[in-house]
Amino acid sequence: DGGITQSPKYLFRKEGQNVTLSCEQNLNHDAMYWYRQDPGQGLRLIYYSQIVNDFQKGDIAEGYSVSREKKESFPLTVTSAQKNPTAFYLCASTFRTGSSGNTIYFGEGSWLTVV
């Protein structure tokens, strides 16, 4: 089945450690995104990538890093510099056809807890 796969679903991290969240899509989408979700704050954009080997910061990029070496993969690293990393992380993707408004599809999310 086509879709967006995020792993792991649940992740616990000790303070001071970096962790990487995986996001893979087999929809042949061009653009991929990472959002962070906190209670009462909706979704906030961390990073996005519209083509391979290129990505841009979103609204809350500090303490995060990404790579886009393959079209289908967009991993997110939560570094020790992120002060409050405990959250629900959502990966998303869409086609980029030159006209905006394409539907953005979401993965099932990853829960990160810092202990």
> What does the binding site for another protein look like in residue numbers (CB under 8 A)?
4, 31, 33, 35, 40-45, 48, 50, 58, 88, 90, 92, 94, 96, 98-109, 111
Distance CA 96, CA 74 (A): 16
Asked if residues 55 and 73 have their Cβ atoms less than 8 Å apart, the reply is: no
Spell out the SS3 assignment of 77-90: EECCCCCCCCEEEE
Pick between residue 85 and residue 107 the one whose CB is nearest to another protein. Answer: 107
In angstroms, give the least distance from the CB of 101 to another protein.
Answer: 4
Pick between residue 4 and residue 114 the one whose CB is nearest to another protein. Answer: 4
